[in-house]
Amino acid sequence: MHLVYVDESGDTGLTNSPTREYLLVAVMVPEDSWHNILARINRARRRMKDKLGLDFAVEIHAAEFLGGAHTYLGLEAWQRVRAIRWLLKELSREPKLEFLAIGRDKQSGGEILRPAWAKLVGEAENRTSERIMLLTDVTDRKAVLKAVHLREEDEGPNAQGPSARLIEDPIHIDSRHSRFIQISDLIAYLLRQSLQPNAHFRNEQPRQLVRMATRLTGGIIWT
């Protein structure tokens, strides 16, 4: 079985929205490698604690951690960039860890959330023959359920959409208590910076993080 941790970047609004694109990023973790991958994440976190003094248990929320604030959680901006570089390098060394990034251009018209989530599930199923369990920080549960199960009346009661191998409905998990959701949030944020960089990410050091995230995911798959 694969545990697939999903977070989003951007909103689904079409009017007065600050983002043009809706992004989903999935971290695909084989069940039998879960402990090894978590150990890699924790290794990077211990390094952050030992070298920079960052609390081992504190949540890394990318928008604040990599924002333009001079100091955050006791760290200067360059220190926070260095910490994330350590984490991304550790993740890149794990051969069984996969990332999946889905994008939906909101200017293309039509629905936003359903096509993006349906595409994510379909792409995840293409990458593994095993069963899949979705764990997500997204709170619009009803909309996500409809998207991943294609619960439309014209599909019929026995319709087999791209969710045929899903185990359970998507499970909501608080990012404060999941290193993997935090990783998904981080990658989604960095991919957002590749599309709409803020002032901080126009500098070379932060842009290196964007390139690392792009290599991990292989780029955004648009739908």
Q: Percent of the chain having pLDDT more than 70?
A: 93
Q: What is the DSSP letter of 153?
A: G
User: Is residue 186 in some structural domain?
Assistant: yes
Total count of domains within the chain? 1
For 28-53, the pLDDT digits (tens) are 999 999 999 999 999 999 999 999 99
Domain with 187 in it: 2-33+100-222
Q: Is 75 left (phi over 0), alpha (psi -120 to 50) or beta?
A: beta
Question: How do the residues of the chain divide into helix, strand and coil, expressed in percent and rounded to 5?
Answer: 50, 20, 35
Burial of 202 (0-12, 13-18, 19+ CB in 10 A): exposed
CATH code of residue 193? 3.30.420
Structural domain contains residue 85: no
- 104 φ, ψ (degrees, to nearest 5): -130, 115
Q: Which of 65-74, 109-118, 138-147, 158-167 has the highest mean pLDDT?
A: 65-74
- Among 53-57, 140-144, 212-216, the range scoring the smallest mean pLDDT is 140-144
- Return mean pLDDT, the chain: 91
Using one digit for the tens of pLDDT, what is the confidence trace for 137-150? 876 788 888 888 75
